[in-house]
Chains A and B, each alone.
Chain A
Amino acid sequence: MIPLGHYLFVSAVLFAIGTAGVFLRRNLITILLSVEIMLNAVNLSFVAFGRQLGTVDGQIIVFFVMTVAAAEAAVGLAIVIALFRHRESLNPDAFTSLKW
């Protein structure tokens, strides 16, 4: 049997990787992918805690997180497409002005 702490460690490492991606990368699509990594890290924590406590609530929260992630990806990618049409760039620093 694997200790709970090991799952939490994997989750923490994945969350740190996702955070680093959001801060370090200069590409809107990679930043959205990093957000997905962070959401998945939290999902792993939820499922591990739910298994530890013997309830299904952790899995249900994961279900809702997945749904919200799907909605977020759809809207985020639509915004990326609209921005790319304006500037021909995916660099977030290119979109510092509120109006052009």
Chain B
Amino acid sequence: MPETLVFYLLSAIAIGASALVIGQRNPMYSVLLLIASFGALAGLYIQLQAPFVAVAQIIIYAGAIMVLFLFVVMLLNAPQEDAAEWDRTHPLRRPTISRFGGLLAALLVVQLAWALLSARGVEAPVGAGAVADTGSVRALGRVLFSEYVFAFEATSVLILVAMLGAVVLARREGES
């Protein structure tokens, strides 16, 4: 079945690229690998009959947010994580605390596995009894501008505030 094969291929790319993002020491490689992961996720969205989300994923995430990250990585020009003296002697580096963090991480994995194993009805194929029109931009836009219109307008205010905040925060001190 080509559909199943494509799903497993895209999932493997998404998971592998995300794992490599965490493993890289150079942030530049991390950003580029994350773009690959987002591309694979866009393929998964297309498989889920959500073409608008797939295109928005490519344009907004891979096109806008990741370019912003790339600009900052190149602007700061600090590729390596530095292991300074205060880093090794930091109180968070004590073995008791790092063991506690490892315990919390193991707890998260156990909880996720438990939730997935005990969930009912997840074996049904996705979209088997779904209405046909959930993927079209027309249906999406109709709901977005009727039911969610207040959230939509609030989001525009949020973006304006974020833009002003970014300009104010990144401004050099002494300029006014």
Residue positions of A touching B, CB distance < 8 A:
1-10, 12-21, 23-27, 29-30, 32-34, 36-37, 40, 43-44, 47-48, 50-57, 59-60, 62-64, 66-75, 77-82, 84-85, 88-91, 93-94
Contacts and interface: CB of A to CB of B under 8 A. Distances in A.
A47 B124 contact: no
B53 interface: yes
Of residues B7, B30, B50, B68, which shows the largest number of chain A Cβ atoms within 10 Å of its Cβ? B50
A26 B88 CA distance: 12
B127 to A, nearest CB: 5
Contacts, number: 230
**What 4 A-B pairs are tightest by C-beta distance, nearest first?**
A1-B125, A5-B122, A71-B162, A54-B130
Contacts of B125: 1-4
Given A69-B65, A70-B65, A52 B127 contact: yes
A95 B169 CA distance: 16
A66 B122 contact: no
Where chain A touches its partner, the secondary structure class is: helix
Interface residues of B, number: 84
Contact of B65 (A7, A20, A36, A57): A36
Given A3-B123, A63-B56, A79-B169, A56 B4 contact: no
Contact of A17 (B22, B30, B151): B22
A48 B105 CA distance: 25
Contacts of B7: 2, 6
Contacts of A8: 116, 119, 122
6 contacts: A8-B122, A17-B15, A51-B48, A51-B50, A70-B64, A78-B165
A2 B144 contact: no
Contacts of B82: 89, 91
A36 B75 contact: no
